[in-house]
Structure 1
Amino acid sequence: LEMSASDTFRGYGEEQGYAFLRHAIRGYYEKKGVTLNDSEIFVSDGAKSDLGNILDIFSADNTVLIPNPVYPVYVDTNIMSGRNIVYMNGNAGNNFLPLPDKNVNVKNINVDIIYLCSPNNPTGAVYNKEQLRLWVNYALENDAIILFDAAYEAFIQDTALPASIYQIDGAKKCAIEFCSFSKTAGFTGTRCGYTVVPHELVKDGTSLNKLWLRRQTTKFNGVSYIVQRGAEAVFSGEGMTQIKKDIEYYLSNAGIIADALGSLGIWFTGGQNSPYIWLKCPKNMPSWDFFDYLLEKANVAGTPGEGFGANGAGFFRLSAFGSRENVITAMERFSRVVRELL
């Protein structure tokens, strides 16, 4: 109704986001024990855009450390920018949560940018506070910046696990955090997310908050007023109640998937604090062969692990995003055809 009347119509808005939404986001962080200033919050058209666009404020000759396997946008955007990429190996031995120690050979590499995703896409694995503290300390010691993808933070049920990197001391001096309404509140088509760039974050004497603000005011005209009002409603009492219900529903779906895999004796991770389950393909089957097998024998589709990097070979991602009926049916079919392999 506001947009239909001349006296309340909104034209170009603030590139950083309307104050009402940034204030609501700040309140959401306060519940996590994280204190932010509204000026550190940037509303955008989604985490995917920001994860690529943030590179505008970094030098093209930076060296980037990226997990393998991981969300492909991290790799592709840096390839398009011509940056040097170094991969850190995720595997079953480290539960696909590489750390800056013996699991990752980064000690003799001058790393400028580090990508972390927790809860992880595709593996569903989640860093605990001690593990995340190792990365924060590494970044501080090496003058590196962590780009922390927290798109799935709302799925974390274990309160001992960090839902924001800023729950780790010192992170405001070395990390930028990216969040999404798509995974939290189903904003996949309306497009809205937000990025946090603390004032304490300074690189080579320059405020990254000011650089990002300059970039956004130059290349971005903001998210529509209507969408931002919808995003504000996410943080209302009713909004939080509905989201909690939806997340519990999807995590129950994940439980159904996990139970089926457990009964088959298949190794997997994720599913408890994430909508994704990452499993080892039975009988060491290549992931694309397993994809074909499931599709042809059971009419069940998942995502071959190789789509997320070379270390995804031999692994497979299943998603809890679906109706209860479809998940139950899919896992019944999955179990039937996989038993034929075992």
Structure 2
Amino acid sequence: MPQLNENFLRLEKNYLFINIAKKIAAFKEAHPEADIIRMGIGDVTLPIAPVVIEAMKKGCDEMGVKETFKGYEDSGAGYDFLREAVSGYYKSFGADVAPDEIRINDGAKSDCGNIVDIFGDDNTILVTDPAYPVYVDSNLMSGRKIIYADSNEENGFAAMPDESVHADIIYLCSPNNPTGSVYTRTQLKEWIAYAKKNNAIIIYDSAYEAFITDPDVPRSIFCIEGAKECCIEMCSLSKTAGFTGMRCGYTVIPEALKVIASDGTEVSVAQIWGRRQGSKFNGVSYPVQCAAAAVFTPEGLKQVHENIAYYQENARIISDTMTKLGVKFTGGVNSPYIWFKCPNDMKSWDFFDLMLEKIAVVGTPGAGFGKNGEGWFRLTSFGDRQRTIEAMERFEKLVSDMK
């Protein structure tokens, strides 16, 4: 009889967003007339930029012509034209990343979960808490030891390293999901120094880098000296360009990143990851890669930033409401997420239920992201403008009545 990987039994039985969906379904059944405003899941709502769609159509047309038809992409790392475009994008904000260090994927979540395949199960994993669930779950599935660095109200939800603690692999996310907090250059230098001291590797999630406006907040960890010797970076076009339904992103593994195998030989992490991907991943479709490359053209960047500006204005509307009500929060600037403290010291899920029942607005309970999320709540700015305004009007009345 086949044996299960019983590490899966260590996972929460229901994923956070499945629990939310069940609660919404029950509420809709009981209140079919309710006008629910969803501000929970971080999915975009604006259409993809026209120049990107045109590039995808052109790519599709090429697939229908013998002379331009594309089958398997030879390297498995993505077409040269897209990797060169991504490299140029990195250079535009001060990160020297070569095309050969970039691998195209079907979104950052896949690589965040799959990267652990190339690391031994006896590694100690350090995750900042609260955290995006995939960091924790993918390592629990492999039975690894996970330790936590506390992100909380006292440190602005930007955990810093504890020199008395050893870790082998470190997950960082900036701008952070779910808290909206960011790491400054000085703080990232400290994390890199910690990683080098521990011979550790930082897995850096920069999925929301396009929302950064503060010049002291790096758009990439590779803007920091020394990062190439200890860091892997993952980014996605899901939020930058609305690719949540098209699926494309990229992972950067520098050539300088090496580890020592048990026999004492030096091994390239990029080479091992390439071998893993060659065995388990067939790449991203040619039309989608054509679309992705168009994002990084001057017109593409202009058009996608118009969408980002729309979401940033939504974030400002939410943030201004929190400020007006005296509700403590992080995010809203440099991030599409607003992470606020539940009024009257309510528990996260209790406040979720209250918002749903009283004002039919859905957010995400902070407790679903880890122990330090208890008593906090996440809203996203990815919705429609008028619906965001209406949600904040409902929210203001709810919180005012609670005082």
TM-score of the pair, normalised by structure 2:
0.83
How do 1:61-140 residues align onto structure 2 when only pairs under 5 Å count? Answer: 61-100=122-161, 106-140=162-196
Aligned partner of 1:26 among 87, 93, 105: 87
Unmatched tracts of structure 1, length 5 or more: 101-105
SS at match of 1:65: strand
* 1:192-236 deviation per Cα after TM superposition (whole angstroms, max 9, x unaligned): 100000000011121101111111111111100000000000001
Aligned partner of 1:3 among 63, 74, 85: 63
Q: Alpha-carbon deviation of 1:269?
A: 0.4
Q: Alpha-carbon deviation of 1:107?
A: 2.9
SS at match of 2:97: coil
How do 1:1-342 residues align onto structure 2 when only pairs under 5 Å count? Answer: 1-13=61-73, 14-100=75-161, 106-204=162-260, 205-342=266-403
Whichever residue aligns with residue 92 of structure 1, its letter is E
Q: Take 2:331 and 2:95, find their aligned partners in 1: how far apart are those partners?
A: 26
Contact 2:163–2:194 (8 Å) recurs in 1: no
TM-score of the pair, normalised by structure 1:
0.97
State, as a whole percentage, how many aligned pairs show the same letter: 56
SS at match of 1:316: strand
* 1:50-103 deviation per Cα after TM superposition (whole angstroms, max 9, x unaligned): 001111111111000001101000000000011000011110000010001xxx
Whichever residue aligns with residue 388 of structure 2, its letter is V
Q: Which has the larger radius of gyration?
A: 2
SS at match of 2:172: strand
Stretches of 4+ aligned residues off by more than 2 angstroms: 106-110
Unmatched tracts of structure 2, length 5 or more: 1-60, 261-265
Q: Take 1:263 and 1:124, find their aligned partners in 2: how far apart are those partners?
A: 19
Whichever residue aligns with residue 62 of structure 1, its letter is N
Whichever residue aligns with residue 66 of structure 2, its letter is S
* 1:138-184 deviation per Cα after TM superposition (whole angstroms, max 9, x unaligned): 00111000000000000001122100001111000000000000010
Contact 2:347–2:375 (8 Å) recurs in 1: yes
Q: Alpha-carbon deviation of 1:331?
A: 0.2
Q: Tell which has more relative contact order, 1 or 2 (C-alpha 8 A, sep 6+).
A: 2
* 1:83-126 deviation per Cα after TM superposition (whole angstroms, max 9, x unaligned): 000011110000010001xxxxx433331000000000000001
Q: Take 2:166 and 2:184, find their aligned partners in 1: how far apart are those partners?
A: 25
Which residue does 1:103 correspond to in 2?
none
Q: Take 1:151 and 1:31, find their aligned partners in 2: how far apart are those partners?
A: 17
* 1:26-67 deviation per Cα after TM superposition (whole angstroms, max 9, x unaligned): 000110112122110000011000001111111111000001
SS at match of 2:138: helix
Contact 2:106–2:248 (8 Å) recurs in 1: yes
Bigger mean CA deviation after superposition, 28-37 or 189-198: 28-37
Q: Take 2:142 and 2:164, find their aligned partners in 1: how far apart are those partners?
A: 24
Cα root mean square deviation, aligned: 0.8
Q: Take 1:258 and 1:196, find their aligned partners in 2: how far apart are those partners?
A: 33
Q: Take 1:254 and 1:34, find their aligned partners in 2: how far apart are those partners?
A: 27
Q: Take 1:256 and 1:52, find their aligned partners in 2: how far apart are those partners?
A: 34
* Number of positions where the alignment pairs a residue of Structure 1 with one of Structure 2: 337
Contact 2:342–2:351 (8 Å) recurs in 1: yes
